[in-house]
Amino acid sequence: MTTRDNPVVRRQTVVAAPLEKAFTAFTERFGDFKPPEHNLLGKPIAETVFEPRVGGHIYDRAEDGSECRWARVLAYEPPVRVVFSWDIGPSWQLEADPENASEVEVRFVAETPDRTRVELEHRGIERHGPGWRSVADGVGSDDGWPLYLDRFAALLGPQAA
């Protein structure tokens, strides 16, 4: 959770999948669980692409072919960790200066051979400058990272009791 002095958003979920499958699904099927209403293009999204390498991007491509590159892949360590920038500022527009971007780390931890805990930490939010609290509030709300993680868990199937 965020606090006044520590603007970090942490969320986690457990998915019904082995470690490698969870990591692969998160990176290769990001567009299958990313809410389509989370769209900076102004046109319907045809696909969301997660380029699986350091230096790659996460971007949306609209039906008309236009693109919005809203994240940069900073670390790619299959099957345990991925880190990407959050290049969306307090006005919910693209952040032009990489120094003003926050970052999202996602770790994958095997709980059993068929269950993986997915731990997400969105940090450095204060780098967005004035208005950074709106970013923290947005990504930490039910319509932010919890929605992504819920949809990701649903994509991989129901949990066994």
- With respect to residue 117, please indicate whether it lies within any of the assigned structural domains: yes
- With respect to residue 58, please indicate whether it lies within any of the assigned structural domains: yes
Q: What is the CATH number of the domain that holds 88?
A: 3.30.530.20
Q: Does the pLDDT at position 15 exceed 90? A: yes
According to DSSP H, which parts of the chain are helical?
19-28, 30-33, 132-140, 145-155
Q: Which are the contacts of 159, defined by CB distance < 8 A and separation ≥ 6? A: 14, 15, 16, 115, 153
Cα separation, 121 vs 53, whole angstroms = 19
* Mean pLDDT computed over every residue of the chain: 93
Please identify which residue in the block is written with the tokens 């307090």: 90
If one counts the domains in the chain, the total is 1
- With respect to residue 3, please indicate whether it lies within any of the assigned structural domains: no
- With respect to residue 66, please indicate whether it lies within any of the assigned structural domains: yes
Enter the pTM of the model. Answer: 0.93
Residue 159: predicted pLDDT: 60
Six-digit token string for 89: 């500022």
- With respect to residue 101, please indicate whether it lies within any of the assigned structural domains: yes
Q: Which domain holds residue 125?
A: 9-155
Interval 65-83 mean pLDDT = 97
